[in-house]
Amino acid sequence: MKKKRLGLRQIKLLFIKLVLSLFLLSIAWVTLYKWVAPPVTLHMLLRRAEAGTAGKENPEIRYQYVPLEEMSEQLPLAVVTSEDQLFLQHNGFDFEAIWDAFQRNQDSKKIRGGSTISQQVAKNVFLWHGRSYLRKAVEAYFTALIEIIWGKQRILEVYLNIAEMGDGVFGVEAASRKYFHSSAKNAGRKQAALLAAVLPNPIKYKANNPSGYVLRRRSRISRAMGRLGGINYIKSILPAYEDEK
């Protein structure tokens, strides 16, 4: 009986050590990416593998990380307008949007997400894609971590660099060079709105050959950017404004 109790005690200690190790590793990982650009994400690797499986001879991933100050201010405004207008107000979760998406998905075959920009960053940088409760729970954990450790400016910068904006095209710099033959620094309002317009499904929607739906969506995003107050809406987290405070 003593040996059995000792065995159970050892298992408990090992479990506690494992949980503690994973916790410390996650803290270190998130802290590292606060200062270092993610070299690659699991989603990028999976997209490359899928392209290879589909028969592409040289499946290419276009990804070039640039800091927020090297982007046009229209780009962060466009994605906040399109994806998460409460980005500056919430703590990583928009519970009203999550509940709304849950209710809609009960009666619809087309799954609708309610994820914030913070949740999308947590998923795309640290996790795999999927709809299991386990992944959603871990996503919530990493979302809370980046909100605490990174802050809004870093979250938005990483999102703009790792969001897929075309088949194997990740981030605004790679997208701007591929579609507009210029850097992200030179993107205007319509170009920024166009990149934001394809975010819901960058494989189906094309920035270089936009459908009527994408063009209408671009127009709606562009108008909404103006209604929100333009750059002033997000100026508190833009590097260009930091010296003015």
**What is the predicted pLDDT for the residue at 111?**
52
Question: Per the domain annotation, does 114 fall within a domain?
Answer: no
Among left, alpha and beta (phi > 0; psi -120 to 50; other), residue 84 is beta
Residues of the domain holding 13 = 1-36
Contacts of 210 (CB under 8 A, 6+ apart): 194, 197, 198, 218
CA quadruple 179, 182, 185, 186: dihedral positive or negative?
negative
Question: Per the domain annotation, does 115 fall within a domain?
Answer: no
The Cβ-side half-sphere exposure at 231, using a 13 Å CA radius, reads 12
Question: Per the domain annotation, does 194 fall within a domain?
Answer: yes
**Which H helix or E strand runs over 4?**
helix 2-35
Same domain, 127 and 231: yes
Token reading at 234? 């997000």
First CA to last CA distance, the chain = 68
Same domain, 62 and 45: yes
Contacts of 150 (CB under 8 A, 6+ apart): 30, 33, 34, 158
**What is the predicted pLDDT for the residue at 133?**
84
Question: Per the domain annotation, does 107 fall within a domain?
Answer: no
Averaged pLDDT, groups of 10, the chain, 245 residues long: 65 90 95 95 86 64 94 96 94 80 60 81 89 88 97 97 94 96 96 96 92 96 95 87 41
**What is the predicted pLDDT for the residue at 105?**
60
Question: Per the domain annotation, does 1 fall within a domain?
Answer: yes
Question: Per the domain annotation, does 96 fall within a domain?
Answer: no
**Which H helix or E strand runs over 166?**
strand 164-166
Same domain, 30 and 126: no
- 235: which DSSP letter? G
**What is the predicted pLDDT for the residue at 5?**
57
**What is the predicted pLDDT for the residue at 4?**
52
pTM value?
A: 0.87
Question: Per the domain annotation, does 67 fall within a domain?
Answer: yes
Question: What's the number of domains the chain is made of?
Answer: 2
Question: Per the domain annotation, does 126 fall within a domain?
Answer: yes
